[in-house]
Amino acid sequence: MMRILLFLATNLGVILVASITLRLLGVEPYLNAQGLNMNSLLIFCFIFGMAGSMISLFISKWMAKRSTGTVVIEQPSNSTEKWLLDTVAELSREAGIKTPEVGIFPAQQSNAFATGWNRNDALVAVSAGLLNRMRPEEVRAVLAHEIGHVANGDMVTLALIQGVVNTFVMFFARVVAHLVDSFLKSRTDGAGLGFMGYFAVVIVAEIVFGIVASAIVAWFSRFREYRADAAGAQLAGSGAMINALARLKAETELPDQMPDTLRAMAITKGQTKSLMERMFASHPPLDDRIRALKEAAYRQ
């Protein structure tokens, strides 16, 4: 499961570097001189826009291990680790995927995440707090949720969506800058924005369009959480999945120990209250997720 915040840091860096590079290499002035060739601009934006998402996707597992302190279980040292490996292997077989790497990260808040560049080369990790406080059937449900993310191909799908929105953020930002520049030239005898003015308009437009793009990606992330909950219910049972989410809800007041770049990767990000928080939240409220599972169980 690839998550939003991991992408944002890399993608923002790539977009800013791409903006400077396109300008310094003379690509944008050339396009302007040609009357802003839309096809060429879109191709350039697509290449650079997708680059951030692909880089994030391929380094996601390495980043997750480093930022959370996850220790991958190579050989189980106790019965809990053996049960964890066996359970992930069993759930993976049922989901039809290759068994992911399994790890534990040192956080007292109950949490878990999955990441990796494809469904057959993933990592599933749980917090020490989750193992200590949840019942085995609840831990199994959490693992099933994460396996659901992997089996659904959420990592690749989110990377593609992020790459597409990056492309259009860069593209429309330059279109806006070109229009502003053309307008000023028509009113000031050809003075226009100038180098710094043009670059400033591009950056401001990228920030504005980037906020809209983040809301789109967040919407998909929330949709994907419902799907992973449904997969978890199918693999581990609706009752166990509902109980696991209820247990997570009871811990929402505990300090969030997940790194910023991985909060959206976790099975829960806590409760969101305001409309703005809900719009940009990577996870739906736990109450809504529990209600959706109960309604699905009632229909069956």
For residue 178, say whether it is annotated as part of any ligand binding site.
no
d(C-alpha 270, C-alpha 286), whole Å: 8
Query: Which residue in 138, 146, 206, 251 is the catalytic one?
Result: 146
For residue 283, say whether it is annotated as part of any ligand binding site.
no
Would residue 251 show up in a list of annotated catalytic residues for this protein? no
Closest CA to 252 of 232, 268, 276, 274: 268
Q: Tokens 């259009």 label which residue? A: 168
Q: How many other C-beta atoms lie within 10 A of the C-beta of residue 82? A: 13
Burial class (CB in 10 A: 0-12, 13-18, 19+), 177: buried
Residues 6+ apart with CB under 8 A from 230: 148, 292, 293, 296
User: Strand 101-105 to strand 122-127: parallel, antiparallel, or no bridges (unpaired)?
Assistant: parallel
For residue 145, say whether it is annotated as part of any ligand binding site.
yes
Residues 6+ apart with CB under 8 A from 169: 15, 49, 206, 209, 210, 213
Binding site listing: 145, 149, 225
Binding site listing for Zn(2+): 145, 149, 225
Residues belonging to the active site: 146
